[in-house]
């Protein structure tokens, strides 16, 4: 079955171009002109992934992300014409999985889409679970529980947690984690990982300001605490 992609952009030419290219690549495209339209289209069509322009009139991409994450963990790839790091950081903090800076090649965007969808639908042998202290991660169902309570993670957050939990105590550099999380040649910056770690801590740590699971190793990167085992 074709994967359904929701394209959210106020530029009609870009929407049509992306829809045509995605159709040639075997995807089904649904289009929305702004955040309000996108929320309704998301509810009506249940897309597998959202390609989201950040700068739109009315409800912009940031406002859309805030609303979307109240009701869904659908993967999101941001499109932004801005090059300032802060703009992309804010989008990632709101729960986006990846970003592409305009102008871009449709081929590159499709590669990113395939990579995020692959991570979102990744399967492993049934029962292939990781358990560290109160945290359980099932790679087959992509479900995470903390002290028996389910936690909803984005694909990027799930892959980051998987990498860390596979080797408790091992220190991963930001570049290593970026490779694990993105999975394709990536034009981003290592601070992307800091944002994903901050989001992940907010979801799994009893106190995200004093993390007991995901530890910072200053000047290097992160590790999942071996003392939590």
Task: Determine whether domain 4-120 maps to CATH 3.20.20.70.
Answer: no
- Residue with the larger pLDDT of the pair 190 and 210: 210
pLDDT of residue 6: 96
Q: What is the mean pLDDT of residues 105-134?
A: 76
pLDDT of residue 119: 75
Q: How many whole angstroms separate alpha carbon 181 and alpha carbon 142?
A: 14
Q: Does 125 have pLDDT greater than 50?
A: no
Within 35-121, residue ranges assigned H as helices are 35-45, 61-68, 85-93, 106-120
Q: How many whole angstroms separate alpha carbon 153 and alpha carbon 137?
A: 11
Q: How many whole angstroms separate alpha carbon 60 and alpha carbon 134?
A: 38
**Mean pLDDT, rounded, of the chain:** 85
Q: What percent of the chain has pLDDT over 70?
A: 89
Q: Does 215 have pLDDT greater than 90?
A: yes
Q: Does 187 have pLDDT greater than 70?
A: no
> Which residue's structure tokens are 């292939």?
128
The listed range with the strongest mean pLDDT (1-5, 36-40, 222-226) is 36-40
- Residue with the larger pLDDT of the pair 14 and 181: 14
Neighbours of 179 (CB within 10 A): 15
Q: How many whole angstroms separate alpha carbon 138 and alpha carbon 229?
A: 17
Is-above-0.85 flag for pTM? no
Q: Which CATH architecture has domain 129-228?
A: Orthogonal Bundle (1.10)
Strands (E), 179-228: 214-217, 221-224
pLDDT of residue 66: 92
Neighbours of 228 (CB within 10 A): 16
pLDDT of residue 228: 62
pLDDT tens-digit series, residues 155-180: 888 989 999 998 888 999 888 888 77
pLDDT tens-digit series, residues 7-37: 999 999 999 999 999 998 889 999 999 999 9
- Residue with the larger pLDDT of the pair 227 and 223: 223
Residue spans of the domains in the chain: they are: 4-120, 129-228
Q: How many whole angstroms separate alpha carbon 175 and alpha carbon 119?
A: 18
Band (pLDDT 50/70/90 cuts) for residue 185 is very low
- Residue with the larger pLDDT of the pair 70 and 1: 70
pLDDT tens-digit series, residues 32-81: 999 999 999 999 999 999 999 988 888 989 999 999 998 888 999 998 87
């Amino acid at each position: 079955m074709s994967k359904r992609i929701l394209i959210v952009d106020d530029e009609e030419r870009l929407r049509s171009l992306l829809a045509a290219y995605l159709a040639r690549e075997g995807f089904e495209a649904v289009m929305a002109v702004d955040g309000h339209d996108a929320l309704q289209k998301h509810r009506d069509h249940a897309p597998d992934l959202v390609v989201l322009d950040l700068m739109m009139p009315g409800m912009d991409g940031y406002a859309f992300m805030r609303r979307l994450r109240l009701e869904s963990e659908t993967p999101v790839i941001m499109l932004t014409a801005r090059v300032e790091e802060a703009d992309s950081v804010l989008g990632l903090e709101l729960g986006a999985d990846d970003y592409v800076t305009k102008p871009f090649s449709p081929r590159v965007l499709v590669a990113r889409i395939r990579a995020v969808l692959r991570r979102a639908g990744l399967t492993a042998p049934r029962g292939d679970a990781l358990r560290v202290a109160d945290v359980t991660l099932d790679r087959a169902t992509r479900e995470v529980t903390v002290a028996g309570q389910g936690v909803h993670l984005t694909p990027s957050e799930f892959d980051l947690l998987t990498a860390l939990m596979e080797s408790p105590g091992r220190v991963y550099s930001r570049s290593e984690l970026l490779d694990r999380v993105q999975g394709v040649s990536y034009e981003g910056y290592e601070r992307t990982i800091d944002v994903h770690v901050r989001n992940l801590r907010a979801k799994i740590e009893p106190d995200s300001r004093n993390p007991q699971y995901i530890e910072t190793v200053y000047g290097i990167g992160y590790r999942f605490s071996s003392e939590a085992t």
